[in-house]
Amino acid sequence: MESHPDIEGLVFRQRLARPGRGELWRAEQTALERDVLVAVFGAEMGENPEGDRRFAVIRALAQIKSVLVPEVIDVLRTPEAACVVLEDPHAQGIVELLAGRRLDAGQIVRLAMRLAEGLAELHGAGMFYAGLCPRALYVSEDSEPVLPDVSLARFEPGRGANPPDWALPPAARPYAAPELASAPETADTRADMFALGLTLYALGTGQVPFGAIAPEALDEAKLSRAVPSPCDISPNFPAALAAVLARLTMRDPAARYADWDEALFDLHQLAAGVSPDLPDPEGSVIAPPDPEARARAGRTIRLSTADLRAFRRELAARHRRPSCLLAALATLALLATLALAVYVFLLLLP
């Protein structure tokens, strides 16, 4: 939809995102004079929300208090649309906040712990987010991660009926677990582990996993290729943190962490400066560090200011050498010409 519905009591201010089945707006609830978020869905969602499976997850979200998902305040229906009114955490998209910058290792670990805690809460309620990616991640004014797009949540197997037409938005596909494409009905909270690993990878390296690849080839790439280790991209990236990301992004869900408590234990060890004892991450979509690539990058990043100045002086000297040679040749030619002129002058003297 291109415009918001006309709903009494709501003044729509700013469109924030276009989730898979609707739009997310920032609005003002005039009666209470407060800011809210409004997820706006089409008429097909508004016909019978109480009996519609597409609203079942949102109704379930309204029953829990998650640190990640804004509180669901109300569900409004009009002939044209259905709206879910959410508490506004005054958050901003992390992609816009970073503006091309990368998170450092400490920031990644802290963000990972907060996200893992929130995703563990969703798991406890029988749900998982399924659409985690940098574009879906917001940061509140209290510097807490927020996932305001409630339309991306799903029930875990046996906990509820998911809508048959549920689909990942394009921005989330590079980060989605392989099982969401091959067997979505079996996907559970371990799909969030995979997406968390690649989301942190992107925020720490500045690179989208698998780069510019055709959407139809993306699912196959996750099963047959690996992205470079973050240690090969940034020499300051801790190997222990890279190992945790590799464990999160194992292709086989059974090879990932057994539960969020296990993942949080390793993250707390990282925060304390302790390297977790992790098995060989063979089978991960994140390749192990390449010692040669890390050494090459390390030699580059460790250049001091004095080294750079010396390099620039040498480079400038290389450019000056041809000019000096030409000047020397020109001087010799001039001296030879003068000598010849003097010789001729002496010969012509009477």
CB contact set of 301 (below 8 Å; sequence gap of 6+): 235, 236
What count of Cα atoms within 13 Å lies in the side-chain half-sphere of residue 49?
A: 21
In angstroms, the CA 259 to CA 278 distance is: 15
In angstroms, the CA 62 to CA 28 distance is: 20
Please say whether the dihedral angle defined by the alpha carbons of residues 279, 280, 285 and 288, taken in this order, is positive or negative. positive
pLDDT given for residue 180 in this prediction: 92
* Contact by Cβ (8 Å): 1, 23: yes
Mind listing the pLDDT tens digit for each residue in 230-254? Answer: 999 988 899 999 999 999 999 999 9
Mean pLDDT of the chain, nearest integer: 84
pLDDT given for residue 300 in this prediction: 42
pLDDT given for residue 100 in this prediction: 87
* Per-domain residue ranges of the chain: 10-87, 92-301
Looking at the domain 92-301, which fold is it?
Transferase(Phosphotransferase); domain 1 (1.10.510)
Strands, E assignment, 156-306: none
Dihedral angle, C-alpha 57, 58, 62, 63, nearest 10 ° = -10
Q: What is the CATH number of domain 10-87?
A: 3.30.200.20
| pLDDT above 90: percentage of residues in the chain | 43
In angstroms, the CA 10 to CA 33 distance is: 10
CB contact set of 181 (below 8 Å; sequence gap of 6+): 219
In angstroms, the CA 282 to CA 279 distance is: 9
What residues in the chain have per-residue pLDDT under 50?
1, 46, 49-51, 299-304, 307
Q: Which of 187, 98, 83, 87 lies closest to 135 in space, CA to CA?
A: 98
